[in-house]
Amino acid sequence: MLNVLELQLEKHGDWHIGVVVNNDFLFYTTEELITVPLANYPAEVQLIFTGKKYNVVEHSDNYCKFKHLFLNQLEFPYLIQQAKFNSDNLEYKVIDACDYINLNGVWQIDIHQDTAEQQLRKII
């Protein structure tokens, strides 16, 4: 229940997501609920989104939307503001506070020991 980041996605189309924490590759998933264990802080969490083929017409509408972010069982909607997305598209190279992905790339968020406390202070 503790030291866990849970990401609830809404997916359209095929996406393969690699999960990396502090440069350690943990697993691949195609699921909409991703549970990321956080062994140490600060934890640099990266989701590597692949699978979208830009030259395939059927893939043009493929996307991933972040619906809910849970840290230690608590939902923190403003946590998304700390995320950024590095895409493989030169025109949209870096997208801050990214909750919608329709390009291949790396979504990243840094979780610190006091992140939950800071988020609670924002919403209480």
Partner 1 sequence: MIGYIENFFTADEVEWLKWYWSVLPNKLDTGQRLRSMAYYDQPFFNKMLQRLNDKILPNEEITTVNLYSDYSPGGVHSDGYIDFDKKDIMGHTYLIPFNIDGNFATVIFDKTSEEAVTLNAELGMGNSGIVTYKQVDRDFFELNNTPFDKELYNQYLTHLDYNTIAGLKVEQVQHWKLGRAAVWPRKNLHCSANFNGPAVRETVLIATRKC
Q: Are 35 and 4 in contact (CB under 8 A)?
A: yes
Q: Are 82 and 56 in contact (CB under 8 A)?
A: no
Q: Which stretch binds partner 1 (CB under 8 A): 9-17, 90-98, 101-109, 113-121?
A: 113-121
Binding residue (CB under 8 A) for partner 1 from 30, 40, 73, 89:
73
Of 111, 122, 123, 119, nearest in space to 39 by CA: 111
Residue 76-95 contact track with partner 1, rule CB under 8 A, x = bound: xx------------------
Distance in angstroms (rounded) separating the CA atoms of residues 54 and 89: 10
Binding residue (CB under 8 A) for partner 1 from 29, 59, 70, 92:
70
| φ, ψ for residue 77, nearest 5 deg | -65, -30
DSSP for residue 116: H
14 binds partner 1 (CB under 8 A): no
Q: Which stretch binds partner 1 (CB under 8 A): 11-19, 47-55, 87-95, 111-119?
A: 111-119
| Interface residue list for partner 1 (CB under 8 A) | 1-2, 70, 72-77, 114, 116-117, 120-121, 123-124
